[in-house]
Amino acid sequence: MKTALMVLLATLGLFATPANAVDDPGWRPVELPQASQRDIQSERTGKVYRIFVSEPRHEPPPGGYPVLYVLDGNALFPSLAIQAQALENRPGPTLRNSVLVVGIGYPGNELYDFEARSEDYTPKAEDRQRLPNRESAPSGGADDFLAFIEDELKPMIALRYSVNSQRQTLFGHSYGGLFTLYTLLTRPRAFQGYVAASPSIWWYKDSIDRTLDTFERQTNNQPIDARLLVTAGSAEQPAADTSLSGAWPSDAWWAMPGIWSANSRG
């Protein structure tokens, strides 16, 4: 996957309407073919999620469609849905592949709901300390959010579409990448594929490293039937002479893996 291109396309906001647009009967909102959406409220988290689905045109293969679940659906679903449609419409039949793309987002017109995703995508950290004179975003809801996906969303999708339960992939970027890794390390059989783009592995004292230690003890280093792809940008690491001690300066967002804008929270 061309992760940087996907993120760029998503950031452009396929569904956005310019604030200074003038009403003109010749212009209409952009529509995404083969796509639909609905809002559902989770019993587990209590939140309302906007679910986007891109449905293949061809009949499902034996065993059902493979499924790609995409976090930050408001931003990332459009570009991934278009790529899935392009894959299905290749001229050579042997090159085609039909994939059901399911985006998980939040109600509203913003590309990212920073408060909601901060809570949903981060694991619990009982010893987490708050920074003085700074309001911290909510966190620690990863287990409940994963339960929503497993116990509520997946069954809903399986009722509507013919899906292959053994060919499912989770895609997440930044905090979403952190959640993707956390899911692999805590419930490795939830998906068969994991794509973590620029995962925020720096989050709170490298908590993902501690989760990895527990994973290794529980699995006794036995192979897991899953595939993992981790991507990172060339500018995500600090320079060799950059001091990592003390507090991060306010303009040092570029030095923190997984952060892609100065005002981003992961």
Residue 135: predicted pLDDT: 66
Residue 169: predicted pLDDT: 98
Residue 123: predicted pLDDT: 93
Extended strands (E) in 79-222: 100-105, 163-173, 193-197
Contact 194, 188 (CB under 8 A): no
Helix, strand, coil content of the chain in percent (nearest 5)? 35, 20, 50
Distance of CA 68 to the CA centre of its chain: 10
Strand partners, 138: none
CATH 1.10.260.40 fits 35-126+136-255, yes or no: no
CA-to-CA distance for 230 and 32, rounded, in angstroms? 28
Long-range contacts of 38-44 (CB under 8 A, 24+ apart): 39/107, 40/152, 40/153, 40/156, 42/148, 42/152, 43/152, 44/144, 44/145, 44/147, 44/148, 44/151, 44/152
Residue 212: predicted pLDDT: 84
Q: Which of 90, 93, 175 shows the shortest CA–CA distance to 139?
A: 175
Q: Where are the domains of the chain?
A: 35-126+136-255
The CA distances from residue 76 to 8, 13, 71, 204, 239, in Å, are 9, 9, 7, 25, 29
CA-to-CA distance for 230 and 181, rounded, in angstroms? 9
Tens-digit pLDDT string for the chain (266 aa): 444 444 444 444 444 445 555 667 889 888 888 999 999 999 999 999 999 999 999 899 999 999 999 999 999 999 999 999 988 888 877 777 899 999 999 999 999 999 999 999 999 876 555 556 666 778 899 999 999 999 999 999 999 999 999 999 999 999 999 999 999 999 999 999 999 999 998 887 677 888 888 888 878 878 888 999 999 988 776 666 655 443 333 332 222 233 222 233 35
